[in-house]
Amino acid sequence: MTRQQLIAQIRKKRSYLCVGLDTDRTKIPAHLQGHADPVFEFNRQIIDATKDHCVAYKINTAFYEADGVKGWETMERTVRYIPRDHFKIADAKRGDIGNTSTQYAKAFFETMPFDAITVAPYMGSDSVQPFLAYKDKWTILLGLTSNAGAADFELQQAGEGLLYEKVLRTASGWGSTENLMFVVGATKPEWFGKIRALTPDHFYLVPGVGAQGGSLKEISVKAMNKDVGLLVNVGRDIIFSGKGEDFAEKAEAKAREYAMEMSGYLK
């Protein structure tokens, strides 16, 4: 998916919502547990219920990899079920020496039809370039994350600024605003002004809204640019908003609520 196609979907739906399919098998409603593939059946109904309110889905691969071969099959079925006009993110946080990253890129961009993958920048440019080499695919680089442990490295002094700032400045030159995004956690809204100044035109994938307590309003006011420039991910607060047979209806209502709030912030 190109940048212009993504922006067009955001403008059309007046939403920059990304639904996180971090599907924990133990939290799936009881009536689905006897299904041949309960995780896929849950995801299918969530997708059907929320697709009109979001522009993207993010699959956290760990929740699928934990189930081995069956989990990988479920993940592939899920990503292929997502409508083609939705942005599909593999939240895999890969990144290794070049020939290994090449295989990771092939797995998620060729074997599976993801539009984007999250990548860790620690090993430098040669570990990221294989992902950036794909046309109309996106690399989403970890910038400033929402976890408490971000203070261990990301917020430490590195030269004239903090380490996360060095990552943003350096990595911006590896790709372009057409194929490179950054992960910026919603639980650190006070940093968004500086981050937007460093990367004025890039898109951000913003986790941490909802169950983690991030403020959608604060993020939208501080980080939106002329092209919106945001994909705000909400996972548990949407997909597990209902525990019974009406779980999909509850998810639809919650996704609609987020989308309506987003519509009010759009410029």
Pairing verdict, β 17-20 and 157-158: unpaired
Q: Please, which residues bridge with residue 7 across strands?
A: none
Residue 97 CB coordination number (10 Å): 12
> Which domains does the chain possess?
3-262 (3.20.20.70)
pLDDT for position 209:
85
pLDDT for position 220:
94
φ, ψ (nearest 5 deg) of residue 170: -70, -50
pLDDT for position 24:
94
Of 3-7, 65-69, 206-210, 241-245, give the lowest mean pLDDT range: 206-210
pLDDT (mean) for 15-39: 96
User: Which of 219, 211, 258, 257 lies closest to 235, judged by CA?
Assistant: 211
Q: Give ∠ CA 184-189-192 in degrees, rounded to 5.
A: 65
For the chain, the average pLDDT equals 95
Range from 91-100, 109-118, 203-212 that averages highest in pLDDT? 109-118
pLDDT for position 239:
97
In which band, very low, low, confident or very high, does the pLDDT at 208 lie, cut at 50, 70 and 90?
Answer: confident
| CA 174 remoteness from chain centre | 20
pLDDT for position 211:
65
Contact 225, 241 (CB under 8 A): no
pLDDT (mean) for 101-105: 97
Alpha-carbon distance of 24 to 30, in angstroms, equals 13
pLDDT for position 197:
94
pLDDT for position 212:
73
Q: Which helix (H) or strand (E) holds 99?
A: helix 98-106
- Residue 17: CB partners within 8 Å, gap ≥ 6? 53, 54, 55, 56, 231, 232, 234, 255, 258, 259, 262
**Catalytic site includes residue 93:** yes
30-51 confidence digits (pLDDT tens): 999 999 999 999 999 999 999 9
Half-sphere exposure of 116 (CA within 13 A, CB side): 31
- Is a pLDDT exceeding 80 seen at residue 210? no
φ, ψ (nearest 5 deg) of residue 6: -65, -45
169-199 confidence digits (pLDDT tens): 999 999 999 999 999 998 878 888 899 999 9
Contact 47, 81 (CB under 8 A): yes
- Catalytic-labelled residue, pool 12, 27, 58, 93: 93
User: What tokens appear for 107 in the block?
Assistant: 């797995």
- Is a pLDDT exceeding 90 seen at residue 214? no
The reported pTM is 0.96
In which band, very low, low, confident or very high, does the pLDDT at 139 lie, cut at 50, 70 and 90?
Answer: very high
Alpha-carbon distance of 113 to 79, in angstroms, equals 7
pLDDT for position 56:
98
In which band, very low, low, confident or very high, does the pLDDT at 79 lie, cut at 50, 70 and 90?
Answer: very high
pLDDT for position 148:
84
More confident residue, 87 or 98: 87
Alpha-carbon distance of 258 to 28, in angstroms, equals 22
